């Protein structure tokens, strides 16, 4: 049998349910793969005991034998180290939290466990998810399986490296400014930033007021993501912003993309340069939708640049969250991270209102765009994955990038609350994955998935993954 860890999640679950693959065999293969790849990828931070994991796998095998299998029965699951899994440390990549033992699961992890998944450990993330490069003082840098000198992105970089590297079949991820889409694009995976509230938050110690961050699938294929979303979406009493049930199965509707859609393509959102070979790959990928019979039109201009506002507002929230640790424990945090947090103290009522006015301008631009188009296409990332330890480029081919340039295409749709996904468009001249972002009207997560699935049928990527082990 081909290596199950390089196969899509939906194929793994089918093999398990038919008895063609044992959960014990899959778990042992996963443990062996984690051990073999950890020195190169550094995708994991904390692991459960191997004997306990194999015992859980045997219990799953017995459940399958009794005909009581759940959708993810026996599937090994990695949990991003910003999210709680009972009995494991949630360090958030931060020294002051290195012993922060979780006493319960997040809502998402709780639902994935209820579906039969077995939590194996935590995947690495930058400190508090603060950057799109996964490195921190606790666990070091995570590496991209396509090129070990490059980053797999962030903040869900441990998960993206593990998925693309054939280490685990499924992992959790989250996106506050691109933290699902950027690592998915850098590692050739599919990533979906769902509508705000689609997957419940929490439980949290502090009420988070900034409505930009969501949990979302980061997977090998679009159908894998649809399965993930089917299992975790839906309201929860601990999250008052959680959306009501969608009334559909995302997996069941994948093939139902309507014909003759109006699709806008913006190569730059009107304000950011893009690496020339990346732009060429993305433009070629956007043309696939014309080949499928849709009307694709070039969008000129774009929304206001909101990267600086997004950064300041998130710094303000982080400053409040970490106020009890400052200044006494300031030296324990990463220097770049704590510098960014302290920028939050610059927030004023006037600056808050200015950011709000720009966000309203962004919302109006989106409203006008989606009155005209059914979907919007953009690059996901304007350049190749950066070095594993950074830095990000400040310019591309002599042109200056805007503030928060790595998220130039992703941040706007966190602020506007639109669902957005990224598919592998192809490879750059450096042989690194390039992402095409697909954005849909608010709450139309189904439409993003349908369009991504249609693209995937023309440009399949599920059998093409890096072989980086000797």
Token pair 């603060």 is found at 130
CA distances from 30 to 119, 129, 198, 379 (A): 12, 26, 30, 33
Catalytic residue selected from 22, 155, 156, 160: 155
Catalytic residue selected from 179, 242, 266, 428: 179
Catalytic residue selected from 22, 60, 80, 135: 80
> Residues 6-11: contacts with CB within 8 Å, 24+ apart?
6/166, 6/465, 7/169, 7/220, 7/462, 8/219, 8/220, 8/221, 8/223, 8/224, 8/462, 9/75, 9/169, 9/170, 9/219, 9/220, 9/221, 9/224, 9/227, 9/228, 10/221, 10/223, 10/224, 10/227
179 is a catalytic site residue: yes
Q: List active site positions.
A: 80, 155, 179
């Amino acid at each position: 049998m081909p290596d199950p860890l390089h196969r899509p999640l939906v194929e793994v679950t089918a093999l398990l349910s038919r008895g063609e693959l044992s959960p014990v065999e899959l778990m042992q293969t996963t443990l062996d793969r984690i051990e073999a790849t950890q020195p190169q990828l550094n995708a994991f931070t904390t692991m459960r005991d191997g004997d306990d994991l194999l015992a859980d796998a045997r219990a799953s095998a017995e459940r399958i034998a009794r005909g009581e299998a759940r959708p993810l029965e026996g599937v090994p699951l990695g949990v991003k180290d910003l999210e709680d899994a009972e009995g494991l440390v949630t360090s958030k990549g931060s020294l002051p939290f290195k012993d922060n033992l979780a006493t319960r699961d997040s809502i998402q992890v709780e639902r994935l466990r209820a579906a039969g998944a077995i939590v194996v450990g935590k995947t690495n993330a930058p400190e508090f998810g603060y950057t799109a490069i996964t490195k921190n003082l606790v666990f070091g840098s995570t590496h991209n399986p396509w090129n070990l000198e490059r980053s797999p992105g962030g903040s869900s970089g441990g998960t993206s490296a593990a998925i693309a590297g054939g280490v685990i079949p499924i992992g959790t991820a989250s996106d506050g400014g691109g933290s699902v889409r950027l690592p998915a694009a850098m590692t050739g995976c599919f990533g979906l930033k769902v509508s705000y509230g689609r997957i419940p938050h929490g439980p949290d110690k502090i009420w988070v007021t900034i409505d930009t961050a969501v949990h979302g699938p980061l997977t090998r294929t679009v159908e894998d993501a649809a399965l993930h979303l089917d299992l975790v979406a839906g309201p929860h009493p601990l999250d008052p912003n959680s959306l009501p049930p969608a009334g559909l199965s995302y997996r069941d509707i994948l093939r139902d993309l309507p014909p003759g859609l109006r699709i806008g393509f913006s190569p730059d959102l009107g304000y950011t340069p893009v690496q020339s070979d990346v732009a060429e790959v993305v433009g070629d990928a956007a043309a696939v939708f014309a080949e499928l019979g849709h009307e694709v039109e070039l969008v000129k201009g774009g929304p206001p640049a909101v990267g600086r506002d997004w950064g300041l507002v998130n710094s303000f929230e982080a400053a409040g969250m970490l106020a009890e640790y400052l200044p006494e424990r300031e030296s324990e945090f990463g220097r770049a991270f704590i510098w960014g947090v302290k920028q939050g103290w610059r927030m004023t009522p006037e600056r808050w209102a200015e950011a709000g006015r720009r966000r309203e301008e962004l919302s109006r631009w989106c409203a006008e765009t989606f009155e005209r188009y059914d979907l919007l296409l953009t690059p996901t990332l304007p350049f190749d994955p950066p070095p594993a330890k950074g830095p990000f480029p400040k310019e591309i081919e002599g042109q200056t990038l805007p503030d928060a340039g790595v998220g130039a295409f992703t941040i706007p749709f966190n602020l506007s609350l639109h669902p957005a996904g990224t598919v592998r468009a192809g490879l750059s001249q450096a042989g690194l994955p390039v992402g095409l972002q697909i954005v849909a009207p608010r709450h139309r997560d189904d439409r993003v998935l349908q369009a991504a699935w249609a693209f995937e049928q023309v440009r399949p990527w599920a059998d093409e993954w890096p072989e980086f082990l000797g």
